[in-house]
Amino acid sequence: AAGASSDPSSLQFAQPPHKIEQYQQVSTGHRGQVLIRWGDKVLADAPAFDPLNQSAAAQEKQFGYNNDFVAFMPLPRGSKNSGHGLLCVNQEYTNPELMFPGLTKTGAVKQMNQAQAEIEMAAHGHSVVEIRKTAEGWQVVESSQYNRRISALSTPMTITGPAAGHARLKTKADPTGRHIIGTINNCAGGVTPWGTVLIAEENFNNYFGGDPEGLPEAANYKRLGIKGKSAYSWSRFHERFDIEKEPNEPNRFGWVVEIDPYDPKSVPVKRSTLGRFKHEAATCVVAPNGQVVVYSGDDEAFEYIYRFVTAGKYNANNLAANRDLLDTGVLSVAKFSEDGSLRWLPLVFGQGPLTPANGFQSQADVLIETRRAADLVGATPMDRPEDVEANPVNGRVYVMLTNNTTRKPEQINKMNPRASNAYGHILELLPPGTQGNDGAPIAQHTADEFRWEVLLLAGNPSEPKHGAKYHPDTAEKGNWMAAPDNCCFDNRGRLWITTDQGSAQSKSGIPDGVYACDVSGAGRALPKFFYACPKDAEMCGPAFTPDNRTLFVAVQHPGEDADSTFNAPSTRWPDFSRSMPPRPSVVAITRNDGGVIGG
């Protein structure tokens, strides 16, 4: 049995079959309750979901599509309540071919009509729902005053920090450059110590049509992948998504957005100080000196890892005093050395190459073109940095490098040690104070120089050509993984990893899901498999309640396969009804005996 003396792992649960099925598989002895699905009520007056009779007005009151980041925010605010809280969920993107009958994956952009495009816009953004644990399981409180939808279609937001009001953010609809409608492609996120949620705009480039050639922003847009060919139909119906008609609109996306879920009337704020790139996550930790540190990855092959440090200090005695803490501070980018050190290089206008000679006139320019600024200071190109999170027990920072099949043999280094890296790897960044693994309270997250180590190289350890590296007992006692994406920690500091292989799932033959491993002791880097997603889904979340007795995970894009359609999906999870397509859903996992997950 797990936990027996022959098993070095401290994790105590049975592993489900490591096999792709149309349904979810939870570790024996646990329940995986589907808590909320695409189309379920968020606002009390939302209509019942009818996939053949959708509207944008209905979708703006219903749970959106492709749930990604999940935060559990206890009620009351500031408490550690594990039985009552707000579930805050990103709705990253949409699969129109699975949402509407008659569309195909490759043809949808041209096939869609305006009503469908606006349903998609309404299905993007974020949902806040009050939830309560009962004897029967978790329940959504449908009448809650907290329940809220934030969408790409209609939610007003502001932008603060150096880029706010800059000429490069001004549009016909917003001559102030300060008022933005909506947020898109929010992937992972983070929670601030003052009880707000940070959501991160990732692949925002996909939403813009029009040709960047000849525009003043052409180089900026090309660097971010705006190529004159949109993956969405929106620019056909809404001028602001056509860069030839509204050339500054893309500069209003790619930011980190702060939401106060405890105030349903609050206006979300895009915090420009944290930079503009394909943000994957924005996770917070309070340094020993009280400054707040936010880590973020830029998820694309050969992109960088970022850190933001606030100028001010966190005030634990007056939560409201922290409201604009994220508006002032220094963004920096990681430069790794093969000797095991890493330096955080500041991205500050006027310093080093970030000057008018290189086209930067102000800090706003540095932030709007964060990637180019990072190129110039000499940041280290990584294998697609996804989640970056600080471990609250050992103080180390964990980086999920999901994969990079385009890295060539001559481009490998100790930090990204495999060419054609199909399976990804996990790095540990060691702030001063954590070398001896002696804990979070003294981890100097604000230091200019860290150390780093490799935790594991994913892939199948039984296939030598994968070049995987884990605890030596992995093949026998654990399970291998591919494409680590999101992570969280339990109260013992163990690492819980969720994976996203995308279309590579059919090649690897293993499902995406949840894995957990020790990061110290005899079981370090021995992953145990905990939960399998249904076919063609990726696993997002994950988020524990403070007592670790519930783990929330988000099943994203079930059935997303090249040939899958509304009428012929590769799975109909979770409803398995012929009248219902597959639905992205949040699952609440609990132990049947009510115990702590992982033991």
What is the size of the binding site for Ca ion (CB under 5 A)? 5
560 binds Ca ion, rule: CB under 5 A: no
| Pair of tokens at residue 76 | 């009351």
Binding region for Ca ion (CB under 5 A) out of 151-159, 271-279, 374-382, 496-504? 496-504
Distance of CA 255 to the CA centre of its chain: 13
Asked, as a colleague might, if the bond just before 574 is cis with ω within 30 of 0, I would say: yes
In whole angstroms, how close is the CB of 500 to ligand FEO at the nearest point? 6
User: CB-wise, 202 or 327, nearer to ligand FEO?
Assistant: 202
For residue 490, the partner it binds in ligand FEO, Ca ion, none, with Cβ less than 5 to 8 A by kind, is: none
Number of other CB atoms surrounding residue 402 within 10 Å: 28
Binding region for Ca ion (CB under 5 A) out of 230-238, 330-338, 382-390, 512-520? 382-390
d(CA 511, CA 336): 32
Binding region for Ca ion (CB under 5 A) out of 8-16, 121-129, 386-394, 427-435? 386-394
In whole angstroms, how close is the CB of 188 to Ca ion at the nearest point? 5
Residue type, 149: R
187 binds Ca ion, rule: CB under 5 A: yes
In whole angstroms, how close is the CB of 45 to Ca ion at the nearest point? 30
In whole angstroms, how close is the CB of 64 to ligand FEO at the nearest point? 15
For residue 202, the partner it binds in Ca ion, ligand FEO, none, with Cβ less than 5 to 8 A by kind, is: ligand FEO
Report the run of H or E that residue 484 belongs to, with start and end.
Answer: strand 484-489
Residue span 396-435 as binding mask against Ca ion, x where in contact by CB under 5 A, dash where not = ----------------------------------------
With 0-12 / 13-18 / 19 or more C-beta atoms within 10 angstroms meaning exposed / middle / buried, residue 128 is: buried
d(CA 106, CA 103): 9
User: CB-wise, 7 or 68, nearer to Ca ion?
Assistant: 68
| Pair of tokens at residue 446 | 């604000």
Q: In degrees, to the nearest 5, what angle opens at C-alpha 590 toward C-alphas 588 and 595?
A: 155
Residue type, 318: N
Binding region for Ca ion (CB under 5 A) out of 63-71, 222-230, 261-269, 573-581? 63-71
Residue type, 449: E
Residue type, 465: K
| Pair of tokens at residue 32 | 């995986």
In whole angstroms, how close is the CB of 279 to ligand FEO at the nearest point? 9
User: CB-wise, 163 or 539, nearer to Ca ion?
Assistant: 539
DSSP string, 203-219: SGGGG-BS--TTSTTHH
In whole angstroms, how close is the CB of 534 to Ca ion at the nearest point? 15
* Residues paired with 30 in a beta bridge: 591
In whole angstroms, how close is the CB of 536 to ligand FEO at the nearest point? 16
d(CA 321, CA 195): 12
In whole angstroms, how close is the CB of 592 to ligand FEO at the nearest point? 32
User: CB-wise, 365 or 386, nearer to Ca ion?
Assistant: 386
Binding region for Ca ion (CB under 5 A) out of 65-73, 259-267, 349-357, 457-465? 65-73
Number of other CB atoms surrounding residue 96 within 10 Å: 23
In whole angstroms, how close is the CB of 188 to ligand FEO at the nearest point? 7
In whole angstroms, how close is the CB of 61 to ligand FEO at the nearest point? 25
DSSP string, 418-466: -TTBSS-EEEEEE-TT-TT---GGG--TT-SEEEEEEEEE-S-TT-GGG
Backbone phi and psi for residue 90, each to the nearest 5 degrees, phi listed first: -75, 140
Residues that bind ligand FEO (CB under 6 A): 92, 187, 202, 280, 299, 386
In whole angstroms, how close is the CB of 187 to ligand FEO at the nearest point? 3
User: CB-wise, 16 or 484, nearer to ligand FEO?
Assistant: 484
User: CB-wise, 75 or 294, nearer to ligand FEO?
Assistant: 294
Among 120, 217, 303, 485, binds Ca ion (CB under 5 A): 485
In whole angstroms, how close is the CB of 225 to Ca ion at the nearest point? 15
d(CA 517, CA 574): 28
Binding region for Ca ion (CB under 5 A) out of 66-74, 112-120, 153-161, 192-200? 66-74
| Pair of tokens at residue 276 | 């503009």
User: CB-wise, 205 or 363, nearer to ligand FEO?
Assistant: 205
For residue 60, the partner it binds in ligand FEO, Ca ion, none, with Cβ less than 5 to 8 A by kind, is: none
In whole angstroms, how close is the CB of 380 to ligand FEO at the nearest point? 18
389 binds Ca ion, rule: CB under 5 A: no
d(CA 266, CA 276): 23
User: CB-wise, 280 or 490, nearer to ligand FEO?
Assistant: 280
Backbone phi and psi for residue 375, each to the nearest 5 degrees, phi listed first: -55, -45
Binding region for Ca ion (CB under 5 A) out of 145-153, 261-269, 362-370, 479-487? 479-487
Residue 53, C-beta contacts closer than 8 angstroms, at least 6 positions apart = none
Asked, as a colleague might, if the bond just before 76 is cis with ω within 30 of 0, I would say: yes
Backbone phi and psi for residue 521, each to the nearest 5 degrees, phi listed first: 80, -170
| Pair of tokens at residue 48 | 């019942």
383 binds Ca ion, rule: CB under 5 A: no
500 binds Ca ion, rule: CB under 5 A: yes
Please check whether residue 362 is in contact with residue 268, taking contact to mean a CB–CB distance below 8 angstroms.
Answer: no
Residue 18, C-beta contacts closer than 8 angstroms, at least 6 positions apart = 479, 510, 511, 529, 532
User: CB-wise, 92 or 260, nearer to ligand FEO?
Assistant: 92
User: CB-wise, 300 or 490, nearer to ligand FEO?
Assistant: 300
Binding region for Ca ion (CB under 5 A) out of 25-33, 180-188, 453-461, 524-532? 180-188
- Interface residues toward Ca ion, by CB under 5 A: 68, 187, 386, 485, 500
